[in-house]
Amino acid sequence: IHYDYKIALACVDAGVDKIRINPGNIGASDRIKAVARACALHGVPIRIGVNGGSLESAVLAKYGRPCAEALAESALYHAALLEQQDFDDIIISIKSSDVKTMIDANRILAEKCAYPLHLGVTEAGGAHMGTLKNAAGIGALLAEGMGDTIRISLTADPCQEVIEGKNLLKALGLWQRPYVNL
Protein backbone atom coordinates (compact mmCIF):
# COMPACT_ATOMS: atom_id res chain seq x y z
CA ILE A 1 0.00 0.00 0.00
CA HIS A 2 1.53 3.30 -1.04
CA TYR A 3 0.49 6.85 -0.25
CA ASP A 4 -3.17 6.33 0.65
CA TYR A 5 -3.57 4.97 4.16
CA LYS A 6 -7.32 4.55 3.57
CA ILE A 7 -6.54 1.68 1.19
CA ALA A 8 -4.59 -0.03 3.98
CA LEU A 9 -7.55 0.41 6.33
CA ALA A 10 -9.95 -0.97 3.72
CA CYS A 11 -7.70 -4.00 3.18
CA VAL A 12 -7.62 -4.72 6.91
CA ASP A 13 -11.41 -4.40 7.09
CA ALA A 14 -11.70 -6.79 4.13
CA GLY A 15 -9.77 -9.45 6.04
CA VAL A 16 -6.30 -9.54 4.49
CA ASP A 17 -3.69 -11.68 6.22
CA LYS A 18 -0.87 -9.12 6.03
CA ILE A 19 -0.24 -5.72 4.49
CA ARG A 20 2.91 -4.23 3.02
CA ILE A 21 3.47 -0.55 3.56
CA ASN A 22 6.21 1.99 3.59
CA PRO A 23 5.26 4.12 6.60
CA GLY A 24 7.31 6.99 5.21
CA ASN A 25 4.98 7.43 2.25
CA ILE A 26 1.72 6.73 4.09
CA GLY A 27 1.87 10.25 5.46
CA ALA A 28 1.46 11.95 8.81
CA SER A 29 1.76 10.16 12.13
CA ASP A 30 -2.02 10.10 12.62
CA ARG A 31 -2.31 7.99 9.45
CA ILE A 32 0.41 5.59 10.58
CA LYS A 33 -1.34 5.41 13.94
CA ALA A 34 -4.68 4.56 12.29
CA VAL A 35 -3.11 1.76 10.22
CA ALA A 36 -1.18 0.38 13.21
CA ARG A 37 -4.31 0.38 15.40
CA ALA A 38 -6.44 -1.31 12.75
CA CYS A 39 -3.79 -3.97 12.18
CA ALA A 40 -3.37 -4.57 15.91
CA LEU A 41 -7.14 -4.87 16.39
CA HIS A 42 -7.44 -7.47 13.61
CA GLY A 43 -4.14 -9.28 14.23
CA VAL A 44 -2.73 -8.25 10.86
CA PRO A 45 1.07 -8.04 10.59
CA ILE A 46 2.67 -5.20 8.67
CA ARG A 47 5.53 -5.80 6.26
CA ILE A 48 7.67 -2.72 5.92
CA GLY A 49 9.05 -2.55 2.40
CA VAL A 50 12.13 -0.46 1.67
CA ASN A 51 14.08 -0.21 -1.57
CA GLY A 52 16.28 2.37 -3.24
CA GLY A 53 13.31 4.15 -4.78
CA SER A 54 11.55 4.60 -1.45
CA LEU A 55 14.37 6.17 0.56
CA GLU A 56 13.65 9.45 2.29
CA SER A 57 15.44 12.49 0.90
CA ALA A 58 17.30 13.02 4.20
CA VAL A 59 18.67 9.46 4.11
CA LEU A 60 19.70 9.86 0.47
CA ALA A 61 21.39 13.16 1.29
CA LYS A 62 23.25 11.56 4.21
CA TYR A 63 24.60 8.60 2.21
CA GLY A 64 24.59 10.06 -1.31
CA ARG A 65 23.03 6.96 -2.87
CA PRO A 66 20.80 4.01 -1.99
CA CYS A 67 23.53 1.95 -0.30
CA ALA A 68 23.14 -0.87 2.22
CA GLU A 69 23.51 1.44 5.21
CA ALA A 70 20.86 3.81 3.87
CA LEU A 71 18.38 0.98 3.25
CA ALA A 72 18.90 -0.47 6.73
CA GLU A 73 18.59 2.94 8.39
CA SER A 74 15.37 3.65 6.54
CA ALA A 75 13.88 0.27 7.50
CA LEU A 76 14.74 0.78 11.17
CA TYR A 77 13.24 4.27 11.06
CA HIS A 78 9.99 2.89 9.65
CA ALA A 79 9.90 0.17 12.29
CA ALA A 80 10.35 2.87 14.94
CA LEU A 81 7.34 4.75 13.55
CA LEU A 82 5.18 1.66 14.13
CA GLU A 83 6.79 0.94 17.50
CA GLN A 84 5.82 4.47 18.59
CA GLN A 85 2.22 3.32 18.10
CA ASP A 86 2.89 0.23 20.28
CA PHE A 87 2.81 -1.98 17.21
CA ASP A 88 5.48 -4.65 16.81
CA ASP A 89 3.94 -7.35 14.60
CA ILE A 90 6.41 -6.29 11.92
CA ILE A 91 8.20 -8.01 9.07
CA ILE A 92 10.93 -6.05 7.28
CA SER A 93 11.81 -6.29 3.62
CA ILE A 94 14.86 -4.54 2.22
CA LYS A 95 15.27 -5.09 -1.50
CA SER A 96 17.70 -3.83 -4.09
CA SER A 97 18.34 -4.70 -7.70
CA ASP A 98 22.03 -4.85 -6.76
CA VAL A 99 22.60 -8.25 -5.14
CA LYS A 100 25.52 -7.20 -2.92
CA THR A 101 23.62 -4.17 -1.63
CA MET A 102 20.63 -6.39 -0.81
CA ILE A 103 22.83 -8.87 1.04
CA ASP A 104 24.74 -6.22 2.98
CA ALA A 105 21.59 -4.28 3.93
CA ASN A 106 19.93 -7.41 5.30
CA ARG A 107 23.05 -8.35 7.26
CA ILE A 108 23.10 -4.89 8.86
CA LEU A 109 19.41 -5.16 9.67
CA ALA A 110 19.77 -8.65 11.18
CA GLU A 111 22.44 -7.32 13.54
CA LYS A 112 20.28 -4.40 14.67
CA CYS A 113 16.83 -5.94 15.12
CA ALA A 114 15.03 -9.22 15.71
CA TYR A 115 12.13 -8.66 13.32
CA PRO A 116 11.46 -11.36 10.72
CA LEU A 117 13.04 -10.61 7.35
CA HIS A 118 11.41 -11.03 3.95
CA LEU A 119 14.15 -11.55 1.37
CA GLY A 120 14.18 -10.72 -2.31
CA VAL A 121 16.00 -8.94 -5.10
CA THR A 122 13.87 -6.26 -6.74
CA GLU A 123 13.84 -5.68 -10.49
CA ALA A 124 15.91 -8.84 -10.86
CA GLY A 125 15.13 -9.41 -14.52
CA GLY A 126 13.83 -12.19 -16.72
CA ALA A 127 13.66 -15.88 -15.94
CA HIS A 128 17.37 -16.62 -16.39
CA MET A 129 19.15 -13.57 -14.97
CA GLY A 130 16.44 -12.94 -12.39
CA THR A 131 16.72 -16.47 -11.07
CA LEU A 132 20.50 -16.14 -10.83
CA LYS A 133 20.36 -12.80 -9.01
CA ASN A 134 17.69 -14.04 -6.58
CA ALA A 135 19.53 -17.31 -5.96
CA ALA A 136 22.76 -15.43 -5.21
CA GLY A 137 21.17 -12.85 -2.89
CA ILE A 138 18.50 -14.87 -1.15
CA GLY A 139 20.62 -18.03 -1.14
CA ALA A 140 23.57 -16.32 0.55
CA LEU A 141 21.39 -15.02 3.38
CA LEU A 142 19.40 -18.22 3.82
CA ALA A 143 22.69 -20.16 4.00
CA GLU A 144 23.71 -17.84 6.85
CA GLY A 145 20.46 -18.56 8.69
CA MET A 146 18.79 -15.24 7.86
CA GLY A 147 15.37 -14.78 6.34
CA ASP A 148 11.86 -15.87 7.23
CA THR A 149 10.01 -15.49 3.92
CA ILE A 150 11.22 -15.06 0.35
CA ARG A 151 10.05 -13.93 -3.05
CA ILE A 152 11.83 -14.75 -6.24
CA SER A 153 10.89 -11.69 -8.28
CA LEU A 154 11.02 -12.20 -12.04
CA THR A 155 9.78 -10.37 -15.10
CA ALA A 156 8.37 -13.67 -16.29
CA ASP A 157 5.35 -15.86 -15.67
CA PRO A 158 4.48 -15.50 -11.95
CA CYS A 159 4.23 -19.30 -11.69
CA GLN A 160 7.95 -19.37 -12.54
CA GLU A 161 8.62 -17.34 -9.37
CA VAL A 162 7.05 -20.09 -7.26
CA ILE A 163 8.91 -22.85 -9.09
CA GLU A 164 12.27 -21.10 -8.73
CA GLY A 165 11.60 -20.33 -5.06
CA LYS A 166 10.93 -24.01 -4.38
CA ASN A 167 14.03 -24.96 -6.36
CA LEU A 168 16.15 -22.55 -4.32
CA LEU A 169 14.83 -23.89 -1.02
CA LYS A 170 15.38 -27.44 -2.21
CA ALA A 171 18.98 -26.65 -3.30
CA LEU A 172 19.70 -25.28 0.17
CA GLY A 173 18.10 -28.26 1.90
CA LEU A 174 15.35 -26.05 3.33
CA TRP A 175 12.35 -27.51 1.48
CA GLN A 176 10.53 -29.56 4.11
CA ARG A 177 7.50 -30.69 2.14
CA PRO A 178 7.54 -33.39 -0.50
CA TYR A 179 8.73 -31.82 -3.72
CA VAL A 180 5.87 -31.09 -6.07
CA ASN A 181 6.55 -30.91 -9.77
CA LEU A 182 4.78 -27.84 -11.11
- Return d(Cα 131, Cα 138) in angstroms, integer: 10
CA-nearest of 87, 99, 10 to 47 is 87
Contact 121, 134 (CB under 8 A): yes
Per DSSP, the residues of 94-162 read EE-SSHHHHHHHHHHHHHH--S-BEE--TT--SHHHHHHHHHHHHHHHHHTT--SEE----SS-HHHHH
Percent of the chain topping pLDDT 90: 75
Q: Residue 84: is its pLDDT beyond 80?
A: yes
- Residue 103 or residue 52, greater confidence: 103
Q: Please tell me the predicted confidence (pLDDT) of residue 23.
A: 63
23-37, 78-92, 101-115, 123-137: least confident range: 23-37
H/E stretch holding 70 reads helix 68-83
CA-nearest of 43, 42, 32 to 6 is 32
- Return d(Cα 116, Cα 124) in angstroms, integer: 22
Q: Please tell me the predicted confidence (pLDDT) of residue 181.
A: 59
Q: Residue 50: is its pLDDT beyond 60?
A: yes
Q: Please tell me the predicted confidence (pLDDT) of residue 54.
A: 83
- Residue 71 or residue 122, greater confidence: 71
Query: Which amino acid does the sequence have at 176?
Result: Q
Which residues touch 165 (CB under 8 Å, ≥6 apart)?
150, 151, 152
Q: Please tell me the predicted confidence (pLDDT) of residue 179.
A: 57
Q: Please tell me the predicted confidence (pLDDT) of residue 52.
A: 86
Q: What is the DSSP letter of 177?
A: S
Which residues touch 24 (CB under 8 Å, ≥6 apart)?
54, 56, 74, 77, 78, 81
Quickly state the pLDDT bin for 94 (edges 50, 70, 90).
very high
Quickly state the pLDDT bin for 70 (edges 50, 70, 90).
very high
Which residues touch 58 (CB under 8 Å, ≥6 apart)?
none
Q: How many residues does the chain have?
A: 182
Q: Residue 88: is its pLDDT beyond 90?
A: yes
